[in-house]
Structure 1
């Protein structure tokens, strides 16, 4: 054994840098959540569409989506509009393509007169193709009055 000073190892020093890995992981999870929920927020107009037999999606083409909620408020492309703005949007669509189809979605509780007003605005703007959007009819249980001829 030698006399003299003994070498001592120093204790590990604390890190002075921020560990970025957990921060990046949290941010990536948040981005994925926003990507998944963004399309769900786009269709936020709540409508109780009427049901009808023989409803099938039409051929994709140039169309403008018009919706009327239970309170009678009109939406074009998901945005609420008043009468003047509705007429302007419909005229703009007719100017771009005269064969544009108006896809009209009206709540089952909307008075018929309100639907006719929107149809009249479409005709006045020069749009004569109107498609009524409805939910498919649910199959009636066997033996019920709806399933008998």
Structure 2
């Protein structure tokens, strides 16, 4: 009986531990930006490298990650090296047409940012974890 209790406790501890995310590489498009969507199709992101591209220059010179959430309301979060900002009024909604999918349980490190895809939503932050955001249907949080 004691052995069964110990085995049960060990299994419970293992199940409570977060799963290690699989590291994936995402490719840049012809303009040098990295685009991806979540499996749900409700969140899409574009990462612009430091220095920008021929057609887009981030305000602070980059790098920058911009993620849009379609439902329940259209919202954009912009994360640069120094801050994350939520924008509730988006003049150019254009989400979620990327071909690359960051599958649930995957992690991608790109241009100084790290993004984690989970069934509960997307979390992206700077590599030093000073700034970032979580984005899901349930809500958005920036830090």
Question: Could you state the TM-score of these two structures normalised by the residue count of structure 1?
Answer: 0.28
Which structure exhibits the higher relative contact order, with contacts defined as CA atoms closer than 8 Å and separated by 6 or more residues? 1
Who wins on radius of gyration, i.e. which is larger?
1
From the two aligned structures, give the one with the greater helix fraction: 1
Question: Could you state the TM-score of these two structures normalised by the residue count of structure 2?
Answer: 0.29
